[in-house]
Structure 1
Amino acid sequence: MSTDYQQARAALGIRLRELRLSRPGGRLTGQQLAQRLDWPGSKVSKLENGRQTATPADLRSWADATEQPGAYAELAARLAGFESHIRSWRRALANGFKPLHEGLSAEIDRTSQMWIWEESVVPGLLQTPDYARHVIQRYSELLGGARDIEDAVRSRARRQEWLYRPGRKLHVLIWEAALRSLICPPSVLVSQLDRLTGVIGMDTVELGIVPFTASVKIVPANGFWVLDDRLVVAEDWHAELWLDDSDNVALYTKVWKTLRGSAVHGAEAHNVINAARRALNTP
């Protein structure tokens, strides 16, 4: 998380502590407040010290338990201001691609399971270096500023070591459009499709393809990653969004499961990939 995000969460924690200490009926200790709310004592400490993001229900309960229900509107407004953490691409890329990649890699390193949906590009964890180079180059041309493309390619390649660590599992869904999009030369895409074919059957990867011909229950758009049950990373043209509130994590998980209902796996996924490869008319 960025410094801005951490500071906002810490500021909310300070305000929560003020409410606990200024209770009209007398200040409460953290343990007394936890007992009133039937919470673990550690939860009060984590919220006050900015180590956990409160939910709206947490804030309502806190305001009521400290006998200051009128404070809820202020608390909720504070939460709404930072529960969707937006990382502007232009600002983030001011220091190059490498720090941007390393920030996400740190989150991935402490993740056991990921659920990924990509509608127009092969996910980074499954990209070949040549394919990754072309994708990163396109973003550099669009957004400007970053020239450390080779560092970014190497960083993305190192991130893929996650797939070979014990206890990891990648659940990935790709729309067929990503298999056919010529963001790179046809020869590079052929190698990338061969790479996808190779991961089918890996113990650590569940690969699903949503064919063009599949009936879908939701618009297949907006790529995103769900890391364990704690964080969503979603991309837009102007920014990357990091969402760690439980409601958004649950929503994106529901979207992923809905899309999975339209996906094919195993031999059927292999057939869709091979059809895209044949359409390239390369050896």
Structure 2
Amino acid sequence: MSKQAEELRQALGARLRGFRKDAGFASGRALARTLNWQESKVSRLENGKQNASEADIRAWCRVTGREEHVNDLIATVRHIDELWVEWRRQIQTGAAHRQRKALPVYARTKVFRIWQPSMIWGTFQTPDYAAEVFRQAVEYYEIPNDTEAAVAKRLERQQYLYEGTRIYNVLLGEQALYSNVGGPDVMKSQLDRLMAVMALSRVSLGIIPRSAPTGLWLGHSFSMFDNTLVLVETFSAEMSVTQPREIELYAKAFSLLQQSAVYGAAARDLIVRAVRHFDTMATD
């Protein structure tokens, strides 16, 4: 969860706790009995450890005599939900819809800052590599199999590599060169594609070697679109960060990660070494 969402949830919990105490419920257990809830649920809500539903807010305000606050608190709950969107809701009809939704963001972005510690970034992917990524997603999330359409939409992003004046600052962890997505042949083709993309004038591709000293833990992947949006993907959700204070933290993280990266000939050497690794795998 983002720092902003976590802070909002904790602040909401503190307000609910205040309502409980002001209404004369000395403990969470007493309120839980009145609401016919588990005592642990009251504790989790008050301590910001669980998202409150709109029904939870209405019930809490009703029994504590604070119904005039329902609309305000529900607005807070909805804002928290917007900061943390479940993947299943995003991709419930398949992966292609999510890929199509991303295109306008890519079209209007002027400067990209991308960090991928263990995978090749989507816009740099070959069709075969992308197809394997989506195949895994279909199986993992148990969603409709629209891999072909999803790949087509992902590849549409590549047109922006050659149009306009967009700048692409992309960082990969060395592990991204070795994560075996689709087998040796798919990986060798993907690595060849990566070397071709490096030659584009508006692409700055850095690779952080596995043994490089780091000024910040490598953490999770993220994508920055100008200074207005950061997308963070996890196994269960996609988080949209739009709060300027948090965006500054991601910009700082990207700058620190850049200091550990190698570029140009050194980055190309790392890719060539990975190609040789997959050559060996293919002949074993």
Establish whether TM, by shorter chain, passes 0.5: yes
Shift in alpha-carbon separation, 1:153–1:81, aligned structure 2, 3 A: same
CA deviation after TM superposition for structure 1 residue 87, in Å: 2.1
1:3-18 paired onto structure 2 within 5 Å: none
Distance 2:94 2:198 in 1: 33
| Residue 146 of structure 1, aligned match among 135, 144, 147 | 144
Distance 1:223 1:137 in 2: 20
1:101-152 alpha-carbon deviations (Å, 9 max, x no partner): 1111111111111000001110001000000000111111111113111000
Distance 2:80 2:184 in 1: 42
Distance 2:216 2:256 in 1: 7
Matched residue SS, 1:166: coil
Aligned residues: 210
Distance 1:79 1:92 in 2: 19
| Residue 161 of structure 2, aligned match among 157, 160, 163 | 163
| Residue 275 of structure 1, aligned match among 265, 273, 277 | 273
Does the 8 Å CA contact 1:95/1:146 hold for their aligned counterparts? yes
| Residue 258 of structure 1, aligned match among 247, 256, 259 | 256
Distance 1:244 1:176 in 2: 29
Match of 1:120 in 2: 118
| Gap runs ≥5 in structure 2 | 1-68
Paired amino acid for 2:100: E
| Residue 216 of structure 1, aligned match among 209, 214, 217 | 214
Shift in alpha-carbon separation, 1:80–1:168, aligned structure 2, 3 A: same
Match of 1:180 in 2: 178
Q: Runs of 4+ in structure 1 displaced over 2 angstroms? A: 77-84
Does the 8 Å CA contact 1:87/1:241 hold for their aligned counterparts? yes
Distance 2:212 2:141 in 1: 34
Root-mean-square deviation (CA, aligned residues, Å) is 2.0
Distance 2:111 2:77 in 1: 27
CA deviation after TM superposition for structure 1 residue 277, in Å: 1.0
| Gap runs ≥5 in structure 1 | 1-70
Does the 8 Å CA contact 1:133/1:149 hold for their aligned counterparts? yes
Shift in alpha-carbon separation, 1:84–1:257, aligned structure 2, 3 A: farther
Matched residue SS, 1:138: helix
Matched residue SS, 1:263: coil
CA deviation after TM superposition for structure 1 residue 204, in Å: 1.6
Match of 1:20 in 2: none
Matched residue SS, 2:92: helix
Distance 1:156 1:252 in 2: 24
Match of 1:98 in 2: 96
Match of 1:225 in 2: 223
Matched residue SS, 2:185: helix
Paired amino acid for 1:204: R
Does the 8 Å CA contact 1:83/1:244 hold for their aligned counterparts? no
